Amino acid sequence: NAGVTQTPKFQVLKTGQSMTLQCAQDMNHEYMSWYRQDPGMGLRLIHYSVGAGITDQGEVPNGYNVSRSTTEDFPLRLLSAAPSQTSVYFCASSYPGNTEAFFGQGTRLTVV
Amino acid sequence: GENVEQHPSTLSVQEGDSAVIKCTYSDSASNYFPWYKQELGKRPQLIIDIRSNVGEKKDQRIAVTLNKTAKHFSLHITETQPEDSAVYFCAAKGGAGSYQLTFGKGTKLSVIP
């Protein structure tokens, strides 16, 4: 089992560029989510999905899009990168209910 | 929505001493409270969790307590070791139908040998 796999691990973007952060899980988890982690701010929810075809906004959704066409994949799109989006991004997945969330290894994104 | 406050933001203890991290939450419907440990440059990993029908849970040197009336929960680490040094996050998940985990801002624990 690979668990939750994120790519890339590191990325540098110029302001205004777009890109997609990839997230895949092989545990057949229904629930997937994206967080960003900034110093002193903890983990803040960007978007989440409760199943294929269903997505919703979290606490900090502006500037990001998501889609969920399969159970396994949940990509995060930055439409027009801004320096404020410099952060570490984590994807997570879990079964419904009160169960453990498994995190990917993270993507460190720098926008210059 | 849910709001989780975590204290302290940093904590230094001598090896062998105990460490306590406290969190409060705002949504009385929240019913699941996990704790995650994140080592430097690594992903967060679950170390212990507690559900709202339980007041305390232990796993070797770590324990979590929950006070639903006061809406706070705490992580206790006894006999701390240098490998316990990390950032610890508490989180809360809302009631039935809620999927979202809301995290505290984290506590950086340093265990001094």
Quickly count: other Cβ atoms within 10 Å of residue B73's Cβ. Answer: 26
Shortest CA distance from B37: residue in chain A: A103
Shortest CA distance from B50: residue in chain A: A98
pLDDT, position A7: 96
Q: What contacts A53, CB < 8 A, 6 or more positions away?
A: A68, A69
* Tens of pLDDT, residues B57-112: 999 999 999 999 999 999 999 999 999 999 999 999 977 667 789 999 999 999 99
Q: How far is CA A91 from CA A43, B31, B70, in A?
A: 11, 23, 32
* Tens of pLDDT, residues B8-51: 999 999 999 999 999 999 999 899 999 999 999 999 999 999 99
Q: What is the 3-state secondary structure (H, E, C) of A42-107?
A: EEEEEEEEEECCEEEECCCCCCEEECCCCCCECCEEECCCCHHHCEEEEEEEECCCCCCCEECCCE
Nearest to B108 by CA among B35, B37, B54: B37
pLDDT, position A1: 66
Per-residue pLDDT of chain A (112 residues; tens, 9 = 90+): 689 999 999 999 999 999 999 999 999 999 999 999 998 888 999 999 999 999 999 999 999 999 999 999 999 999 999 999 999 999 999 988 778 899 999 999 999 9
Shortest Cα distance, chain A CAs vs residue B55, angstroms: 16
pLDDT, position B99: 78
Contact B1 A96 (CB under 8 A): no
Shortest Cα distance, chain B CAs vs residue A99, angstroms: 8
Shortest CA distance from B39: residue in chain A: A105
Contact A31 B104 (CB under 8 A): no
